[in-house]
Structure 1
Amino acid sequence: MESALFPRIIRFFKTESSWDALRNILTILIPGLFLFFFWDGPIAIAFAVGTLLAALTDVPGNQADKRLTALYGIPLFFLTGLSISLALHYESWTIVLLLGIFGFLYTIIALLGFRINIVGNLALIVASFTIGLRPAGPFVFTFALTAGATCFYAVSLIQAYLFPHRSLSFAVEGGIQQMAKLIRLKIDCYNEAVPLHQIYRQLSALHIKVSDQLEAVRSILLRDKRLLEDQHPASKIWLAKLYQLVDLYELLMAIDNDYEHIRDTLKGGKTLILIRESLAILSKATARLRVKGRSRGFHAAKRERLEGLLQELETTALTENLQKKELTISIVNQLRQVANILQNIHIPHALEDNTWVANKDIANFAAPQHNWKTIVKNLSFKSAIFSYAVRMALLLMLGGLIGFLLPEYRYASWILLTIILVARPSYNITQKRNYQRIIGSLIGIAISLILLVCIQNICWLAAIAALCLYLFLLFNKPDYLVCVIFITITILLGQKIHEGSIQDLLGSRFAFTLLGSIFAVLGCLAIPINHYRSVAQNTDSLIQHFKSYLEKIKESYASANINYYDLRLLRKFTQASLAQSYDSLEQLEKEPIRGRYYKTDIIHFQTLAYRINALLVGLSIQMTKLGQSLPVEEMSERANYVAELIQEAELLSKKGYGLARSKRAAGWKIGKAEKLSS
């Protein structure tokens, strides 16, 4: 247990977010302490707040991404800080209106992309912090806050230019680690003691994580204009690693398709055991791969052991019947292809081959960039993000109005902060964040009280507050509950150091946090998001991508002319569509009023969609990776089988998008599919 835990801790501290947390705390503390001791306390606090909030907008990306974040972050922070602090200074009711305007605008700009969404969310938190600090001088406070944000963005940009491939290397390694988990899960597919329906559910969920990780790599790499320059070798090397990751993913998705058939065909003897042992070696080899620093590839002894297992499988297959022999050899070939990729992925060379797409087409594989026209198209309640933006505007205005009526307006910042951090489009996620924030606040308050009773020395309290701020930054992405605990301790200890008393703050922290949590839940119920519409759109899109992918595979087979560009692009679109469909179905399943009625049928659809995707990828790699040419009859039979599954998925998705009336049909079709495939 301890031997397994220690490497996990080491890996955690080697992640990009962990290194970023160290960079961020130094960027906050060094100039902040300098200003505090040699200039002015309030200015130092405003500067540190600006630096902290800007640091929270920084997500992995290339140089252009960092510039874009700064381009949005600096003016939004300045505008928000100045307008809110001026309204506070003059005790004007316009602060309520400002909160509503900012709540709507900063939420709906999420349509411009994930990075802009984060900046908008942190700009709302700027408003909350400004109310909590209640600055005496609006202009001094705003300039200090903006200077802190500018300082952080300068550090971030300098780092991006000094280490241009930093985020990319972490993203690639993250993808490799997700592949290792996928291989470990595949081991159970060959274990007759593990129910298949559990494995399919887990595979579908893991598919989303792997797909997201690959999309992160594409997002960083494929928008690099230097890829179009043949004379830039470094970018070509990273592009080669992306190709290898995608090829590895395809092989793992299509290592086999019908596990019921495989278990039945290969039962008895040592075949299934040997396959599980081979996958275990591949999983461990994948987990230890590194693409930066000290390169580590496929250990020679492990590769030799794997090759021995594969040869034993081939030898065993020669003594079996034709069906078992062909199936075993097919699995062995795919396992060997996986091993070859693992052998080469850490090598710092661009191993270009005929499957690469032309430079002019590379940008087509990156996620499309949205503009302001996208926002205009979504200005109606038919849009989920529009409904969410209206909900946020009303909730923030309500929280601001309550604060305006209180004698101590600054304590209302806890209401606003809780709404900003907790209220999410999905009821289920909102409830989860509510639980984490309330429990985290209680634990943080309890620990703070113990520290304040036991420690009276201000220097020690300041050191503990700084440590807790670092731990907040460290766990901000991995675990929201833990980060709430540490930021609560940081704020309470900081308030004690700054004002000398926290009696009022202790009660208001929890009371107003609880009130904000209640508002967030009521907002979900009062202005719900129509998950049915998103399910309809995403499932329709998925079905069309399935059909297009199948037609392209059939066309390539019939013409014997493989178009690698089209196949790669359609596979990418299908994988992305599958991830979106899976996510929307998850939201529908967890919808508070009617979601539970559709849970079983949603699982049926997700399982069916996963099987269709695996079959399509399997047909594709038969031509592109393994170079195998199936007989015409067999190809036709497999294509018709997939077409039947697609037709059933389409029927299942159209029956009210509740899927309830299709339960029997879905179960019948999956049973029939398993029978046909065997």
Structure 2
Amino acid sequence: MTDYKKQSAWLQKINKDFWRNPNRMLALKVVIPVFVQSIPFLLFNNITAGITMSLGTVAAALSESDDHPKGRLKALTITIIGFTITTISVSLLKPFPLIFGIGFILSTIIFILIGGISERYRAISYGAILIGIYAMLVYHESSSWYLQPLLLCSGALIYGITSLLLLFRKPWRLLDEQLSSGFKMLSEYLDEKARSFANTQNHSKPNNKLSILNIKVVAALEKCKEVINIYNKEVDSNKLLPYLQRFMLLQSLHERAASSHEQYETLKEKIEYKELLEGFSELLHQLSHATRLLADNLLTNTTYSHPISIDWIISSLQYEIDKLPPHDKQLLELLLYNLMRSHQSLKKIYNIKESTSIPKLGVDNRGTWERIKEQLDFTHPRLRYAIRLSSCFLIAYTLTILFNLENGEWIILTSLFVSQPTYSETRKRLFQRIYGTMTGVIAGILLTQLTSSSGQLILILVSIYFFFYFLRTQYSYAVIFITIYVLASNSFNGETEVHILAPRLIDTIIGASLSFLAIRFLWPNWQYKQIPRLISNALTTNAKYLKEINTQLLHNNSDDYNYRLARRLAHKADNALTLAWQSMQIEPQKKQRLIQKAFTLTFLNHALLSHLSALGATNKNYKNKADDYLFIMNRITDSLFEAANTIELKQSKTTQNSLRPLLLELKEKTDKESNIEKKQHLRLLYNIAAVTNKLLKESNGIQSPPKHAHPQI
């Protein structure tokens, strides 16, 4: 009996570990169809057909997007139809190079524009381009025109049915995965914030890692919202309510986590506060641990148990704060209250009150034609990307025809994988692709030389598994394994690995170089040109966020949609500014014209957003005192709007939007105020005004480029 219990516990642990990582399920979903469909071809000694089917499976897996089972069925139908048309077109037109080349380039542009309709169509159109290139790779003049399309589409269909059956078995799994991802990203953010409290060294240095992690949290929130909206179209809203409540919890936890009431560096300078700050660091660590636990529970479908240690830490911190002098006590009381609310929200996660109405989420109501029409403009990023990618394909295809390259399609395939919408993303992908291919070729040759035929089949399955396992997290590793897969497949077909070594590497370098040159000379969109627009947008969204906070204070609205929307847009604008600064660092030296300015603006904007989040997170405390602060908040809001407008109008004004008089007034009011709550609120408003004033000064003189200026080439 004891052995049975041990075995049962061991199996439960394996089961939990498996479901805890969604990438394992994704990889297994691909490996199972590849293995099953290869068995009959192995028995009849026709492994080439099995390899062709596996390419269809890979393309179908890369064409999949997060969707409800009903939506997934629609997507699968469209995918198979698209794959069929594409592969048959390749089989019929490949013998006519000119006609095929024209059709291939035009279809690439059309597919990319169709991908702009929605995330579902983006994935399908990408898969359609990919399956077309795979069809070119496996094309043989001697084969019947229908054979390769049949094998490729059959492989795609088998994967699609497998994935669909698994989704019908666990229809809410995708929502659990997205919410879990959001809580995991939040956990990392809290963990980094904990380190910043514990770090008493370099306390004056901005913590840029927090801004970068905030990008991941906001991206996860956006993805959650997108998947919830997809499910909302297919199911009854009441069934979706528990997931909406988890999503709203994640949003509120993020707002509190992003909050900053004070610049705590002043306390770090005092040795006597070292232990107290370490206590706050430990509290943040524990909240990080709690959110990670919740993320794991969502994936493993187990009950969340809140850590009891957090209550003890909060009590200890409250006891120590009560001993502080009044000035320093005010610095930390709001912070503790804010973290205590996060603790209570997690502790009572299963006691959420039943909502009388479904929380409203933003939905894109544009029609299909409207979305396509919007892209038919040479200033639109997606059309530019389509032209860049099709240009790479045109050059690669021309080289293949002119020099009669045996596997010139590898150049086209590499261009597809390396080409990205921005310079920084393309450059990063270029190095990942070349490094992964070189490493994969060396490892693949060694492994295929050492293994038998059955061992090579295992190698194919293992390499496919790890390709999909690492695809979303470590692209370089994914490239290594897909390269090993290609070499093992060729070995099965009787080709020697050494024979394809040099061509494979040369094709990869040519394809990657084409992608790099395309983004370098066709609308590179350097970040220094984007900074004025991004800072203007950040100032505007921060102003709207503050305005909505003020509205929530004045009017106790049950529907806080406008407030949540303003908060989300402010975070997205902050993220865009941070990404621009990141991207600028890997652009050519002469294009880094505003890099120091971008760094300063990124830091200040994130600091302002942190203070606004603190104000928003604690606004319930001041609902009856809103009129006292109305003038102050309106003055800050007006200054932010004015500064944003100044940048858009390409003006340079330093005095109109200065908040120095307001800062002096706030300092005087704070010093005279005897009520502790009001004093805390005034200090928070002072910090918002102070950071805003610095932000206005730094952004002064920045001018937006003309909206329709020709891109620098």
- Equivalent in the alignment of 2:705: none
Conservation of the 8 A alpha-carbon contact between 2:553 and 2:622? no
Aligned sequence identity (%)? 18
- Equivalent in the alignment of 1:496: 491
Conservation of the 8 A alpha-carbon contact between 2:535 and 2:601? no
- When residues 325 and 448 of structure 1 are mapped into structure 2, their CA distance, relative to the original with a 3 A threshold, is closer
- Equivalent in the alignment of 1:343: 347
Deviations 1:310-347, CA, capped at 9 Å, x for gaps: 223323333333333333322221111111122233x3
- When residues 460 and 262 of structure 1 are mapped into structure 2, their CA distance, relative to the original with a 3 A threshold, is same
Note the C-alpha offset of 1:595: 3.5
Matched, 1:162 2:169: yes
- When residues 608 and 655 of structure 1 are mapped into structure 2, their CA distance, relative to the original with a 3 A threshold, is farther
* Counterpart-to-counterpart distance in 2, 1:261 and 1:640: 27
- Equivalent in the alignment of 1:67: 73
Scaled by the length of structure 1, the TM-score of the pair is 0.86
Note the C-alpha offset of 1:589: 5.1
Greater Cα offset, 150-159 or 39-48: 39-48
Note the C-alpha offset of 1:245: 0.9
- When residues 591 and 652 of structure 1 are mapped into structure 2, their CA distance, relative to the original with a 3 A threshold, is farther
* Counterpart-to-counterpart distance in 2, 1:29 and 1:676: 63
Conservation of the 8 A alpha-carbon contact between 2:463 and 2:485? yes
* Counterpart-to-counterpart distance in 2, 1:656 and 1:526: 31
Give the letter aligned to residue 154 of structure 2: A
Note the C-alpha offset of 1:640: 4.2
SS in 1 for 2:157: helix
- Equivalent in the alignment of 2:465: 470
The one of 347, 371, 374 aligned to 1:374: 371
- Equivalent in the alignment of 2:553: 557
- When residues 396 and 631 of structure 1 are mapped into structure 2, their CA distance, relative to the original with a 3 A threshold, is closer
* Counterpart-to-counterpart distance in 2, 1:183 and 1:291: 19
Greater Cα offset, 154-163 or 585-594: 585-594
Deviations 1:357-403, CA, capped at 9 Å, x for gaps: x43x62x4345666232222222321122111111111101111111
Give the letter aligned to residue 324 of structure 1: D
Conservation of the 8 A alpha-carbon contact between 2:109 and 2:386? yes
Scaled by the length of structure 2, the TM-score of the pair is 0.82
- Equivalent in the alignment of 1:568: 564
- Equivalent in the alignment of 1:132: 137
- When residues 13 and 241 of structure 1 are mapped into structure 2, their CA distance, relative to the original with a 3 A threshold, is closer
Cα RMSD over matched residues? 3.5
Matched, 1:16 2:22: yes
- When residues 317 and 637 of structure 1 are mapped into structure 2, their CA distance, relative to the original with a 3 A threshold, is farther
Give the letter aligned to residue 17 of structure 1: N
The one of 309, 333, 348 aligned to 1:329: 333
- Equivalent in the alignment of 1:123: 128
TM alignment of 1:241-640, pairs within 5 A: 241-254=246-259, 256-260=261-265, 263=268, 268=273, 270-289=275-294, 290-293=297-300, 295-299=302-306, 302-303=307-308, 305-345=309-349, 347=350, 351-352=353-354, 358-359=357-358, 362=360, 364-366=361-363, 371-409=368-406, 411-455=407-451, 457-531=452-526, 538-559=534-555, 564-588=560-584, 590-592=586-588, 594-624=590-620, 632-633=627-628, 636-637=631-632, 640=635
Note the C-alpha offset of 1:672: 8.4
Deviations 1:614-669, CA, capped at 9 Å, x for gaps: 22222222224x56655755565466456656655666787699xxx9xxx99xx9
The one of 79, 92, 101 aligned to 2:97: 92
- When residues 144 and 627 of structure 1 are mapped into structure 2, their CA distance, relative to the original with a 3 A threshold, is farther
Note the C-alpha offset of 1:66: 2.0
Give the letter aligned to residue 27 of structure 2: A
Deviations 1:47-66, CA, capped at 9 Å, x for gaps: 22211210122233323542
SS in 2 for 1:434: helix
Note the C-alpha offset of 1:209: 0.3
SS in 2 for 1:111: coil
* Counterpart-to-counterpart distance in 2, 1:282 and 1:11: 22
Deviations 1:511-554, CA, capped at 9 Å, x for gaps: 11111112111111221233567655554443332222222222
Unaligned runs of 5+ in 1: 1-6
- Equivalent in the alignment of 1:673: 690
Greater Cα offset, 393-402 or 104-113: 104-113
* Counterpart-to-counterpart distance in 2, 1:91 and 1:499: 29
* Counterpart-to-counterpart distance in 2, 1:550 and 1:151: 52
- When residues 223 and 650 of structure 1 are mapped into structure 2, their CA distance, relative to the original with a 3 A threshold, is same
- Equivalent in the alignment of 1:238: 243
Conservation of the 8 A alpha-carbon contact between 1:414 and 1:509? yes
* Counterpart-to-counterpart distance in 1, 2:387 and 2:37: 39
Note the C-alpha offset of 1:164: 1.0
- When residues 269 and 514 of structure 1 are mapped into structure 2, their CA distance, relative to the original with a 3 A threshold, is closer
Unaligned runs of 5+ in 2: 1-12, 664-686, 695-713
Give the letter aligned to residue 140 of structure 1: L
- When residues 323 and 378 of structure 1 are mapped into structure 2, their CA distance, relative to the original with a 3 A threshold, is same
Conservation of the 8 A alpha-carbon contact between 1:589 and 1:595? no
Give the letter aligned to residue 179 of structure 1: L
* Counterpart-to-counterpart distance in 1, 2:234 and 2:110: 35
Greater Cα offset, 632-641 or 379-388: 632-641
